[in-house]
Amino acid sequence: MAGKTSNPLTSQKEIAANQRGQITKRQQSRFGGVFWQKKQRWFGIALFGILCTVGPFIGAIFGFASGRSDLGAWPIGLLAVSAGLFCVWLAPSVSIYLRWRWLDRNLVHETIAEGEGTVYWGRRRYVLQLADGKKLDPIYSPDLLPGRYRFYYLPRYHWLLTAEPLEEVAQVDDLEQLNHRLARVNWFQSSALAANRAGHLTGLQRAMILGRFAAYAVGGFVIVALFFGYLIYTDGLQEGLWVLFAVVVGMVVLSLYLGRKSLSAIADCFQGRVIASEGPVTKDFEVSTDSSVSYYYELDKTVFRVNEAGYEALVAGLTYRLYLLPRSQKLVNIEAVVEAT
């Protein structure tokens, strides 16, 4: 069996409570975040629409205050339109807020349904599907291996509370499929696992890592060359030399900023060694101020950045073996492992 940390979706205590028709406090605390996560896009659009009506409304007020007769009925029309649009955008935002308050107060009275279903890997994430074809949204990260389960869920919202395995879902065959999936979505090579276990980096892995750095260098050279050629073509070389100089300096500064880890990774590639680190791996994400999302694996308080598909594919809490480059600590492969019995 693969080692696994506590998973709230398969917690026996939570399953027992759901079987009695009760929603636990931990589950209640998750619903507000799940609801806002699903509605935040529409709520944001509604708030943006409300803000867009402020300008015309202020313009209409100034039109009235100016007392200019040549404006005619324009201030009144503008005021009516902005007020109408304000109401149109206000309605969905108020509706979303009231639904959230209603859910927060009446959640304990929701009926819990149960039904058998399966977990399988879709195109980019795990899918939780009932026998009748309906899909469920888990209130926690769906860290479930593919297989058959008995689901306990809220039928009104199709929100999954807990999942009780109906069969042994963590067999070696399933772990092998998980390893192939993790390698594919993270752009690793499952065929390289044998060499990585022996502490070696394969030629293909080395070529992919070095090729990535070479692509960055070639891209920077092409940008400078194109800009330099444009200055020569337009006879603006002397006037544009300072701009070209600024571009080159900026690229040098960026290279120095990123260079230490990059040079370490290049040195690791030439050395060709791989080290392994093993233990329960969790996953997390971080939303920046510009709404971009970064995804991570975490092992022993060390984080490794991955793509979204890699984040979705990982079943958090299982025991994994991560293969890293020794100096740069760059993640080059991953596999779920079976504990010795």
Query: Measured in whole angstroms, how far is the alpha carbon of residue 142 from the centre of its chain?
Result: 13
Q: What is the pLDDT of residues 215-273, one digit of tens each?
A: 666 666 666 666 666 666 666 555 556 566 666 666 666 665 555 667 788 888 889 99
CB atoms within 10 A of CB 128: 23
pLDDT in tens, 86-133: 777 777 777 767 776 776 676 767 889 999 999 988 878 889 999 999
Q: Is the Cβ–Cβ distance between 139 and 30 less than 8 Å?
A: yes
- Give the distance from CA 170 to its chain's centroid: 25
Residue 175, pLDDT score:
80
H helix intervals, the chain = 12-19, 25-52, 54-66, 74-106, 172-185, 193-197, 203-233, 237-271, 308-313
Whole-number average pLDDT of the chain: 78
Per-residue confidence (pLDDT) for residue 261, from 0 to 100: 66
Give Cα 335 to chain centroid, integer Å. 21
Is the model's pTM score more than 0.75? no
